[in-house]
């Protein structure tokens, strides 16, 4: 009897175990294929490596450190450093944990709407296209979940997905403990990305308001969303009261948000697709048309093949026609469904889906399961829509979309699989869900491969190794890697251990790998920092506490717009003039930065002139 019960339990759990094995195998393969090839030596990764070190040195966020996001990520990462050591592997371990957690909760949220196999497909899609994506040729590999451009972004989307999971649990079961858990992760997200979570909060609030109105039991449930705001506000008040960092928070977080939304930053305009709205709208409709056409072909093909397997009379011709249609769909996708078009249709599907599921939820009584199903879909589509607002006209898996589009993936499969499957099941007697499921999975796995091919090629090109006592990272530029390594070695061998070193315009990884301290509040001096902080204020900070050494590193900033590529030439001229007047050049690696059109790292080390 014991053996029989064990076999029964194993049989019940076998599908879940198989899915776990598939996702785990994919995760391990991707880790192995990309190992130590994430991030960038200069851009953004520098901040993520060094900022927790500054906190452990005793600096206070915002008061002593300029930082554009909420306080949770840097203090959490500082705790990780404190426990596991100041090493790049500590951040990588945290990134692996975040990615694994994303896989788990994306799967769990998908299961509210989709069957096991499609939920597994959603997770694989997340891993191959988004979590491990690397679509920037050359050295910049900062848009992934393991060593991202911003740990605040990966924490943010993780907490959004977890909050969404508990919110959906509340809708399905009606237990208030799930709203409490939703509230906890919502408060945490206000301490991660208050700028982005505000829109997400409104989406949750709208769904809970509809739920409350249909329930007709008063508005007591609305205390939960308003309570999250009060709790977050109180938390920030206590944090600023203890640290005295409100002015710094205003300078870094609030002013940066103002600048990003001002319409003056060309990079933000391009990422939103606002630089070519007519062309991007055309691409959105093109993407939708392509998917509708392909899904139509796959559906017809599956119906034809089903007739053969069911041994219907004269089924050979429909089966042959079905196979031909499916092969044509694959060939058609090779020619037209390129990696820049596939997810564009989400810009149209998410608002339409949110509206339609909202209307559908109003049709049914509160106790009708169809109400809960539609309000749950409305929640998902509303959250996914609120996330893509900053890239609304350019929903491609490059840049910020590597985390912004993750919730939209589930919506994607609801539209193109679940709704289509339900329609065909209701309208076509000879339709087989299993055959359509198999064909659908093969097709969407096929669509993922070009993304991974690009990423794999970019990762494979990063062969140059930089290894120090604080970890190893691979880069793709032999000359730049050599100069970076020599710069770090020179600082370690020729400057005192307590030397104060500032890198301009960006490159705090030099501080991280060399162990030399940046004592200033500011650690990067790109155009956005110069514009939001003010050049005179930055110069004043240098004057008040002069650095012993200043490292000028080649870091073009073309993303800021025309005429903003070169430090000291196109921007920060006054700061550079002050540096040249008060510091002398003592060492140079490669051509002097910004004097040649090269993408290779070059550095110049300046020492303070004695009075």
Q: Provide the token pair at 202.
A: 């409104």
Whether 263 shows a pLDDT value over 60: the answer reads yes
Least confident range from 49-58, 445-454, 509-518, 551-560: namely: 551-560
Indicate whether 8 belongs to any domain: yes
Both 54 and 174 in a single domain? Answer: yes
The count of other CB atoms within 10 Å of the CB of residue 74 is: 21
pLDDT single digits (tens) 433-446: 899 999 999 999 99
Both 429 and 525 in a single domain? Answer: no
**Domain finish residue from 458, 489, 513:** 458
Both 426 and 537 in a single domain? Answer: no
Confidence of residue 309 (pLDDT cuts 50, 70, 90): confident
Whether 4 shows a pLDDT value over 70: the answer reads no
Distance CA 144, CA 154 (A): 9
Indicate whether 319 belongs to any domain: no
Confidence of residue 456 (pLDDT cuts 50, 70, 90): very high
Distance CA 360, CA 72 (A): 38
Indicate whether 262 belongs to any domain: yes
Indicate whether 323 belongs to any domain: no
Both 417 and 554 in a single domain? Answer: no
Q: What is the mean pLDDT of residues 289-317?
A: 83
pLDDT single digits (tens) 79-128: 999 999 999 999 999 999 999 999 999 999 999 999 999 999 999 999 99
Both 539 and 445 in a single domain? Answer: no
Rounded to the nearest angstrom, the gap between the alpha carbon of residue 249 and the centroid of all alpha carbons in its chain is 23
- What integer pLDDT is reported at residue 6 of this predicted model? 61
Q: What is the mean pLDDT of residues 191-203?
A: 93
Whether 258 shows a pLDDT value over 90: the answer reads no
- What integer pLDDT is reported at residue 7 of this predicted model? 56
Both 401 and 482 in a single domain? Answer: no
Distance CA 86, CA 170 (A): 40
Token pair 């945490």 is found at 188
Distance CA 88, CA 400 (A): 23
Q: Provide the token pair at 597.
A: 């059109």
What is the residue range of 566's domain?
A: 477-608
Both 54 and 130 in a single domain? Answer: yes
Indicate whether 291 belongs to any domain: no
Rounded to the nearest angstrom, the gap between the alpha carbon of residue 188 and the centroid of all alpha carbons in its chain is 17
Both 88 and 218 in a single domain? Answer: yes
pLDDT single digits (tens) 14-32: 788 899 999 999 999 999 9
Q: How far is CA 235 from CA 183, 187, 197, 543, in A?
A: 14, 9, 16, 34
pLDDT single digits (tens) 277-300: 999 999 999 999 999 999 999 999
Rounded to the nearest angstrom, the gap between the alpha carbon of residue 592 and the centroid of all alpha carbons in its chain is 35
Token pair 């820049």 is found at 340
Overall domain count for the chain: 2
Least confident range from 59-68, 112-121, 160-169, 261-270: namely: 261-270
Q: How far is CA 186 from CA 86, 88, 202, 224, 462, in A?
A: 30, 29, 11, 10, 38
**Cα angle: 317, vertex 321, 324; to 5 degrees:** 140
Whether 311 shows a pLDDT value over 80: the answer reads no
Both 493 and 451 in a single domain? Answer: no
Residues 606/594, Cβ–Cβ less than 8 Å: no
Both 499 and 423 in a single domain? Answer: no
Both 193 and 77 in a single domain? Answer: yes
- What integer pLDDT is reported at residue 322 of this predicted model? 87
- What integer pLDDT is reported at residue 265 of this predicted model? 83
pLDDT single digits (tens) 549-599: 999 999 888 877 767 788 999 899 999 999 999 999 999 998 899 887 666
Indicate whether 321 belongs to any domain: no
The count of other CB atoms within 10 Å of the CB of residue 437 is: 17
Which residues on neighbouring strands pair with residue 65, listed in sequence order?
Answer: 61
Indicate whether 435 belongs to any domain: yes
Token pair 């009075």 is found at 611
Q: What is the mean pLDDT of residues 182-196?
A: 95
Which residues on neighbouring strands pair with residue 608, listed in sequence order?
Answer: 583
- What integer pLDDT is reported at residue 559 of this predicted model? 78
- What integer pLDDT is reported at residue 139 of this predicted model? 65
**Domain finish residue from 458, 489, 517:** 458
Q: What pTM value is reported for the model?
A: 0.94
Indicate whether 310 belongs to any domain: no
Q: What is the mean pLDDT of residues 219-234?
A: 93
- What integer pLDDT is reported at residue 5 of this predicted model? 60
Report percent pLDDT > 90 for the chain: 69
Residue closest to 590 by CA, chosen among 552, 550, 549: 552
Distance CA 181, CA 136 (A): 38
- What integer pLDDT is reported at residue 560 of this predicted model? 77
**Domain finish residue from 458, 486, 505:** 458
Both 441 and 537 in a single domain? Answer: no
């Amino acid at each position: 009897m014991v053996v029989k019960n064990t076999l029964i339990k194993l049989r019940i759990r076998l599908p879940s175990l198989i899915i776990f094995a598939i996702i785990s195998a994919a995760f391990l393969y991707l880790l192995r294929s990309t190992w130590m090839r994430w991030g960038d030596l200069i851009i953004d990764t520098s901040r993520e490596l060094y900022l927790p070190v500054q906190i452990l040195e005793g600096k206070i966020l915002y008061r002593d450190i300029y930082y554009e996001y909420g306080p949770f990520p840097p203090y959490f990462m500082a705790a990780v450093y404190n426990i596991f050591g100041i090493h790049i592997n500590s951040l990588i371990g945290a990134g692996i944990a975040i990615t694994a957690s994303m896989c788990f909760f994306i799967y769990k949220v998908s299961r509210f709407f989709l069957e096991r196999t499609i939920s597994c497909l959603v997770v694989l899609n997340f891993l191959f296209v988004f979590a491990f994506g690397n679509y920037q040729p050359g050295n910049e590999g900062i848009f992934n979940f393991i060593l991202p451009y911003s740990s605040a972004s990966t924490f943010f989307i993780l907490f959004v997905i977890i909050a969404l999971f508990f919110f959906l649990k509340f809708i399905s079961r009606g237990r208030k403990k799930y709203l409490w858990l939703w509230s906890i992760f919502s408060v945490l997200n206000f301490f991660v990305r208050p700028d982005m979570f505000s829109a997400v909060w409104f989406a949750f609030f709208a769904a809970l308001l509809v739920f409350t109105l249909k329930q007709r039991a008063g508005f007591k449930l609305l205390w939960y969303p308003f309570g999250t705001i009060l709790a977050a506000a109180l938390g920030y008040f206590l944090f600023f009261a203890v640290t005295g960092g409100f002015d710094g928070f205003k300078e870094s977080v609030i002013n940066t948000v103002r600048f990003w939304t001002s319409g003056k930053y060309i990079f933000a305009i391009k990422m939103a697709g606002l630089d070519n709205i007519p062309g991007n709208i055309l691409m959105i409709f093109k993407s939708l048309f392509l998917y509708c056409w392909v899904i139509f072909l796959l559906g017809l093909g599956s119906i034809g093949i089903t007739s053969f397997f069911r041994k219907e009379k004269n089924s050979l011709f429909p089966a042959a026609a079905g196979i031909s249609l499916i092969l044509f769909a694959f060939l058609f996708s090779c020619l037209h469904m390129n990696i820049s078009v596939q997810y564009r249709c989400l810009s149209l599907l998410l608002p339409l889906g949110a509206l339609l599921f909202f209307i559908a939820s109003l049709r049914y009584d509160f106790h009708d399961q169809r109400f809960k199903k539609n309000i749950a879909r409305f929640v998902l589509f509303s959250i996914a829509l609120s996330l893509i607002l900053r890239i609304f006209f350019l929903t491609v898996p490059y840049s910020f979309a590597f985390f912004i589009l993750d919730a939209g993936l589930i919506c994607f499969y609801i539209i193109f699989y679940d709704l289509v499957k339900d329609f065909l099941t209701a309208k076509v007697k000879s339709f087989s869900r299993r055959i359509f499921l198999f064909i659908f999975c093969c097709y969407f796995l096929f669509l993922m491969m070009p993304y991974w091919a690009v990423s794999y090629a970019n990762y494979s090109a990063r062969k140059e190794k930089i290894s120090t006592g604080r970890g190893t990272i691979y880069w793709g530029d032999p000359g730049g890697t050599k100069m970076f390594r020599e710069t770090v070695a020179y600082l370690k061998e020729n400057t005192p251990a307590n030397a104060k070193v500032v890198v301009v315009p960006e490159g705090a990884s030099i501080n991280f790998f060399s162990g030399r301290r940046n004592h200033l509040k500011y650690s990067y001096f790109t155009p956005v920092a110069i514009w939001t902080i003010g050049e005179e204020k930055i110069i004043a900070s240098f004057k008040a506490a002069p650095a012993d050494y200043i490292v000028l590193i080649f870091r073009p900033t073309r993303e800021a717009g025309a005429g903003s590529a070169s430090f000291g030439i196109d921007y920060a001229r006054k700061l550079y003039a002050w540096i040249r007047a008060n510091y002398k050049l003592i060492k140079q690696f490669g051509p002097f930065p910004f004097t040649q059109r090269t993408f290779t790292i070059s550095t110049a080390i300046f020492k303070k002139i004695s009075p």
